[in-house]
Chains A and B, each alone.
Chain A
C-alpha cells in the first residue's frame, strides 16, 4: 500500500500535536490492544486441553510424533509437530462450527438454494460394454474420493481406517481386481433446500457393478445350493431427492442396480428395493444430514427382503419406537454447511418386541470372542446416533434369537446394512453380521462352518458399484482353510 499521500493529508490536518508524537502515541495504544489479544490466544492454545478426536469429522485427530533422527531428516517430524498443533486446537469442533457459520455469509440464501461441494461432472447413461472396457461415465477422481473413503471409515471414531485393517494379501488381490473396472461413483455432494429444510445428497457417478456381481457369482459357486444368496442394494438418497436441475450430474442408481441384477446367477435372489423406497420417499427414509438411510428406510428394505425370502416378518407397529432429538450426521462434517448443523433431525430407531429374548455376542474382525452385549447400544453423543446399531462396523456380531426354525442368516454389509438385522430377530434363529470392509477370515469357510442357510449381501450402491466391492472377492479368497472356532458358545445358555 502506498501511504505517501495519506501521510501528507494527515500531516496537513494535525495542527496541535507533532506528527511523530501522535503516531507514536496511537501506535502504543494500538499495541496495547493487539498484543494482549495475540498473547491471550497463544496462551489459551497452550493451556487449554487438546481434543483427541473430532465428532464433526468422525476421525481421530493428529498425534504428537515421536522424534527420531530419520523422521527429522525426512521432514516428517517437523511437519508432524505442526500438524499436531494445528489439528488439535482446543474446542476444535466448536471453532469449526463458528467458521462454517461465517462461511454461510458468503452467499445469497433462497428458498430452493443448492450448494455444491466437491467436483460434480455431467454423467453419461450407463453403457455396460463401455464400462467393462475400463472407461467410467464420470471422470472425477479427486477430493471426492477422499470424502467418500473418509465417509466409509466414519462408522466408529475409535476405528482405524479401512486400509489399515486389510491384510497384505487382500490388498494385492484388490489391486488386481480393481484393474478390471475403473469406477468413479463419487460425484460431489449437493446441499439442497426444499420445503424449508436442508438436505445433503451425494451425487452418483454411475457404474455397472461388474466386480460385485462377479464376486457374488463366485460365492454361489463355492457355497453351492446349501446357502441361498440374496443381494440387496440400497440406493443413495440422491436417487430420490436430487432436484431436476442437477439430474445431469446424478447417474441413475436404478440402472446400475438393474445392471448388477442382470449379471447375477439366476439362483441368486436380487431384492430390488429401489421402487419400494421410491414409493415411500415422502416419508423420512433417508437422513437429511447423514449419508445413511434412516431405520425406517431400512425397515422397508428388510420387509422386501423377508417377502423375497418367504420369511415371517412383523409389522412396524409391533416395534418400540425410540427417538433421539438433535441429530446432525456426517454430512455436516463433509460439507461444512452451517445450515445442516442448524437444521437437526430426529433419529428414530425401532426395537423388536422380542429384544429381551435375544442374545447378542461380539467378536473381533477375525472372530475372536470379546463378550456379550446389546444389539441396540446407547450412544453418548447424539451426533453418533447411527452407532446405536452394534456400536459400528469393525467387529463381527452374532445374534441368537428366541425363534426356533433352524434358519441361520449371514449378513455381509457396509454401514447401511447395520440398520437391517434388528428387523429380522423374528425371522431367523441366528444372525451373523460381518462387515465387507473389515472381516479378516475366509467368508466361504465361515459360512460353511457356521452352517449358514441364507446369506444376505446388504450395502449401499456406492459400495456395490465402487471400490469397496473389490473387498468381496478378497473375502472369498483370503485366509482359506482355517478352522472357525466360536469362542462365544461357552456364554450361550
Chain B
C-alpha cells in the first residue's frame, strides 16, 4: 500500500487509528499494530508476507540463542548464521538476476536468468533484522523474549517498506511501554500531512518535468537542459524520500513511537561527508556502525572499509551497475575529503564548498537516475558540455526555457522548502515567545496543515499511480 494514496489515507489509516485508540492496554494496541502491519504488507505482497513472518522468526530465534548460549564463539556462529540467512534472502530476491546476468556476460555461459519479483521493503526490514542481531551479539540491546513483540518491531507498517531503518534500541522500551499524548498525535499528524504534501505537491510535479527530459533519449538534450533536469531530479528524490520519512516518523509518533530523523536538510551541506550525515541518515549510520567499524578479514582497514561501505551503499540501492558507480563515486569524494582533512576543509571559502558539494551531489543523482549505462554515458557527455563539441548539442533549448517558465514558482518553492526555512519561521514565532504569538503559530500551523491535507487530497485524485521512489530498493 502506498502512503500517498487516498485509500491509505481515508480507509486504512482511520480504521487502524480507531481500533488502536479504542484499545486500553499496550498489549491490545500491539495486537492492533501487528495485524494492521501484516494487512498493510499483504495488501501489496499477499504471498511474501509469509517471508516477513519467517524472517522475523529466524532472527528472533537467533537472538534467543545468542542470549542463552555460553561462549563468544557460539554466539558469533549463531549471529553469523542469522546474517547469512538475511543476506541470503537479499541475494536471492534482489540480486540473483543481476549476478546471473553478469556471470553470463563475463563467461558467456548463458545460464537462465531467474525472474524473481523482489518483495517490497525487503532491503529495509532485512537491514533492521541484521542491526538487531548485531546489537544482541554486542550486548548493546537486550534480546526480545517475546516473538510477537519482535514481529511488531520488524513489521511496524509506518517504516516497513521504505524506512527509516529503525534500530531496535530506539523503540525497544516503547514496544512494551509507551504513553500516547495529545502532543504526539497532533505533532505526528502534522508531520504526516507535511510528508504527504512534500510528495504530492512538490515531488510528483517535479518528477513530471524530469520525465519529460530524461524519460526519453537524451542524446540531443542541451547542456543547460541536462543541468536543469538533474537539479530538479535531485530535488525530486529529496522530497519524495524525505516526504516518505516524514510520514513514517509522523505515523510512528501517532502510535507513540519516536523514530530517529532520517534527513536533516542535506542540501545545506558544505562537503560530501556532511551530505551523508544529513541524507538517509538511518542507512549511512547503519553502514558506519555495522560495516565500517567492523573488523573484516582480521583488523579494520580504514580505506578498504571506506570503499567497501560505499560499494555496499550503492549496491543496496539496486541491482544495477549505476548504483554501484553511484556509491563508489561518493566514496571517492569522501576519500579525498578525508585525505584533505576536516580542519583544512573548514578553512575553505564557504561559497566554494557549497558550490563544490552541490555540483558533486547533483551529478551523483544523474548517475542514480540512469540505470541504462548508454544513457548514463550520454548524460556525462551532455553535462560536461562534451556533446556540444562532438554531437553539436545546443547550449540551451526552447523546451528547457519554457519548462523553467512553466515551473518557476514550483522550483523556487521547492528550493526554499529544502532549506531550513520552516525551522526559521518557527524560531520567529518562539523568539518573541509570549503565549499570544505561540498561539498564532500553533493555530496558524494547524490551519496550514488542514489546507495542505485538502490540497494534497485533491491532487491525489489526478495521481492514481504514484509510488514512492524508495519502494524499489
Contact = CB atoms under 8 A, between A and B. Distances in A.
Interface string A318-353: 000000000000000000100000000000000000
B403 interface: yes
B216 interface: yes
Interface of B is mostly: helix
B261 to A, nearest CB: 7
B6 interface: yes
Contacts of B106: none
Contacts, number: 193
B125 to A, nearest CB: 18
A167 interface: no
Contact of A96 (B1, B407, B462): B462
Contacts of A48: none
In this complex, which of B190, B220, B264, B462 has the most chain A Cβ atoms within 10 angstroms of its Cβ? B462
Contacts of A41: 10, 453-454, 457
B181 A78 contact: no
Interface stretch (B41-49, B68-76, B153-161, B171-179): B41-49
Contact of B181 (A27, A45, A114): A27
Contacts of B10: 41-42, 45
A23 B183 contact: yes
Contacts of B377: none
Contact of A139 (B46, B216, B405): B216
B35 to A, nearest CB: 16
Given A41-B457, A106-B409, A30 B443 contact: yes
A29 B405 contact: no
Interface string B414-434: 000000001100110011111
B182 interface: yes
A33 B190 CA distance: 12
Contact of A107 (B181, B185, B409): B409
B46 A78 contact: yes
Interface stretch (A81-89, A255-263, A271-279, A425-433): A81-89
A245 B432 CA distance: 54
In this complex, which of A72, A86, A108, A119 has the most chain B Cβ atoms within 10 angstroms of its Cβ? A86
Given A27-B182, A86-B460, A119-B216, A114 B435 contact: no
A2 B409 CA distance: 27
Contacts of A2: 261, 264, 423
Interface range on chain A: under 10, 10 to 19, 20 to 34, or 35 or more? 35 or more
Interface range on chain B: under 10, 10 to 19, 20 to 34, or 35 or more? 35 or more
A118 B432 CA distance: 49
Nearest to B117: A75
In this complex, which of B186, B431, B437, B454 has the most chain A Cβ atoms within 10 angstroms of its Cβ? B186
Interface stretch (A7-15, A231-239, A454-462): A7-15
Nearest to B400: A116
Q: Which 8 A-B pairs have the closest CB atoms?
A: A13-B433, A107-B406, A27-B186, A27-B182, A106-B410, A10-B430, A119-B216, A26-B442
Given A1-B261, A13-B438, A107-B406, 7 more contacts: A17-B435, A23-B183, A30-B442, A96-B462, A99-B462, A115-B406, A116-B399
